Amino acid sequence: MHLTPREQERLLIAAGADLARRRVARGAPLGVAESIALVCDEVLEAAWDGASLEEAIEAGRRAVPPEALLPGVPALAPAVQLEALFPFGSVLVHIDSPFGAVEDDAPGAVRAATGQRELAAGRPRAEATLTNAGEASVWVSSHYPLDALNDAVRVEGLPEGRWRLDLPAGVCRELTPGVPLTVRVVQTGPTPSADTDTPGPTSPAAGAGA
């Protein structure tokens, strides 16, 4: 039986989700790996059945009862991202807080340090206009190369070189069909001299795990 890497990953997620369901059925607590597998499995099956993106995300949020988790699991998985195949194509699905809010003092929690960090410091910035010429919304994630987007997306005003959205990691922008969107972009690759570039966005400095 010959399987593509994507098919292998799908079957691995299904196995993890099956383990999670069997543990829930007998009242055993769930760890982070099988909990995430169950969320992903529910999202993938909802997408396969023709659900909308919003319905698939909601299916993922309902997948794991909070009382079924081991302590610290929500802190170890503050978000889940996966690529799901919908009838209209593949979409990056992002679920914030899939297991509920995280207490600051929970095991495994990450606390932000004081101050700000400049993201992609010293790299050239520019503006470009993205237009989705397709019939369904397209989501572009922060670090996806803009020269490798869905064929339905037109990119105008992009300078030479490789660029991505100037957003923090894990953030996406939605491209509504037929609505041009002007975005700020940042060049990928080696960091050039900072004295010729405009400042980038900032984010709270990352802290140590609790």
**Strands, E assignment, the chain:** 79-86, 89-96, 116-118, 125-132, 138-141, 153-156, 163-165, 172-175, 181-187, 202-204
pLDDT, average across residues 40-61: 95
Q: How far apart are CA 32 and CA 99, in angstroms?
A: 10
Q: 122 is in which domain, residue-wise?
A: 116-204
Q: Are 161 and 200 in the same domain?
A: yes
Confidence label for 116 from pLDDT (cuts 50, 70 and 90):
confident
Confidence of residue 196 (pLDDT cuts 50, 70, 90): very low
Q: Is the pTM of this model over 0.75?
A: no
Residues 87 and 127 in one domain: no
Instruction: For residues 7-17, give the mean pLDDT.
Output: 96
Answer whether residue 109 is part of any domain: no
| Side chain identity at residue 70, one-letter code | L
Buried/exposed code over 111-150 (b: 16+ C-beta within 10 A; e: otherwise): eeeeeeeebbeebbbbebebbbebebebebbbeeebeebb
Which helix (H) or strand (E) segment holds residue 7: the answer is helix 5-25
Residue, of 111 and 138, whose pLDDT is higher:
138
Residue 76 has pLDDT above 90, yes or no: no
CATH number for the domain spanning 25: value is 3.30.280.10
State whether 10 and 53 are in the same domain: yes
Closest CA to 186 of 176, 174, 198: 198
User: Which residues 6+ apart lie within 8 Å of 43 measured at CB?
Assistant: 56, 57, 59, 60, 63, 82, 84, 93, 95
pLDDT given at position 15: 97
Token digits of residue 6:
């994507």
Q: How far is CA 186 from CA 72, 163, 179, 198, 199, in A?
A: 35, 6, 22, 10, 10
**Residue 48 maps to a domain:** yes
Q: What percent of the chain has pLDDT over 90?
A: 54
Q: What is the pLDDT of residues 161-188, one digit of tens each?
A: 999 999 988 788 899 999 999 999 999 9
Contact 49, 86 (CB under 8 A): no
Structural domains counted in the chain: 2
User: CB of 71 within 8 A of CB of 81?
Assistant: no
Integer Cα distance of 134 and 143 in angstroms:
22
Q: Answer yes or no: do 50 and 129 share one domain.
A: no
Q: Is the pLDDT of residue 202 over 60?
A: no
- Is the same domain home to 130 and 53? no
Q: Strand, coil or helix: what is 127?
A: strand
